[in-house]
Amino acid sequence: MTIDSPTITDLISLTGRTAIVTGGAMGIGRGIVERLAEAGASVVVADADLRAAEATAEELAEQGRSVLAMYADVGDADDVHRLVADTIGWRGRVDVLVNNAGIFPSMPVLAMAPEDFDRVIRTNLRGVYLCSREAALRMRDQDSGGRIVNVTSIDALHPSSVGLAHYDASKHGAWGFTKNLALELAPHRIWVNAIAPGAIATPGVTTMQSAGATGGDPQAILEAFLARVPMARMGVPDDIARAALFLASDLASYLTGAQIVVDGGRLLS
């Protein structure tokens, strides 16, 4: 019996597929948008900052990519329903969802108000649930399978610093949600996986460091962190985007319920 073996080009191609990337305007999200679009996907840049999303979409469209900006508050059920419905209206299908939207305001628990905790959980965990459910319903009805990629964090496995208890709770939750949803959706040929980034140089991280939100000298904290990264550097958004492209493509044809750690070896130390 002869088994067809697709080429590497075929395996990595997303031509004809439609993807949604939440938090896609900047940082890791933008890196993922760029790689998925490069692989041939039509990509929705979903973000609460519509101007930034439109700027990203315009720049990529000038490069010949099929990209559309949409406003989305991932913690709002009506917004998420509209996001997926408008994506279907644009390209007639949704094949890939990347749940990347997330916030990480740093504050110790003893100084944290209930609304501070709720705001992080709303975006980082409720948003993953809402977007995954809405997209999976469409993927199931298409009868062609799909891919859901949740961007978690190494904090889903081990805390990185004091001040991120609410963030860590949300990321542990997202990792647990990933595994259980993978079980539920496998019969529908929808694979659900996660990426756990380490320290990635993004505008959000830069802002937190410059504001001294970590409770100490930002440069000293960064140097101490990097001293424990075997690769001795911060990651860049494209490091995460490459993993997302792998999980979104047919290269990951027999992978579900997994979490890929992309941290330069940080957890090893």
CA 239 to chain centre: 12
- CA 15 – CA 216 distance, rounded (Å): 47
Q: Kindly state the tokens that stand for 185.
A: 């959706």
φ, ψ for residue 250, nearest 5 deg: -75, 0
Q: What is the pLDDT of residues 244-267, one digit of tens each?
A: 999 999 999 999 999 999 999 999
Residue 219 has pLDDT above 80, yes or no: no
Residue 211 has pLDDT above 80, yes or no: no
Task: Given the residues 71, 129, 167, 254, select the one marked as catalytic.
Answer: 167
Q: What is the pLDDT of residues 157-190, one digit of tens each?
A: 999 889 999 999 999 999 999 999 999 999 999 9
Residue 129 has pLDDT above 60, yes or no: yes
Residue 222 has pLDDT above 60, yes or no: yes
Residue 34 has pLDDT above 50, yes or no: yes
- Give the residue-averaged pLDDT of 216-227: 76
167 is catalytic: yes
Q: What is the pLDDT of residue 213?
A: 53
- Sequence-distant (6+) residues with CB within 8 A of 62 are none
Mean of per-residue pLDDT scores for the chain: 94
Closest Cα to residue 123, out of 142, 104, 107, 139?
A: 104
- Give the residue-averaged pLDDT of 137-143: 94
| Beta bridge pairs of residue 72 | none
CA 204 to chain centre: 14
1 falls in which pLDDT band (50, 70, 90)? very low
Using DSSP, state whether 42 is helix, strand or coil. Answer: strand
- CA 108 – CA 158 distance, rounded (Å): 17
Domains and CATH numbers, the chain: 12-198+238-261 (3.40.50.720)
- Give the residue-averaged pLDDT of 48-65: 98
Q: If you count DSSP H runs as helices and E runs as strands, how many of each does the chain have, helices first?
A: 10, 7
Closest Cα to residue 147, out of 29, 37, 257, 238?
A: 257
Neighbour order of strands in the sheet with 42-47? 67-71, 42-47, 18-22, 96-99, 146-151, 190-197, 259-262
Q: What is the pLDDT of residue 143?
A: 82
Q: What is the pLDDT of residue 2?
A: 47
Residues in the chain: 269
φ, ψ for residue 44, nearest 5 deg: -90, 120
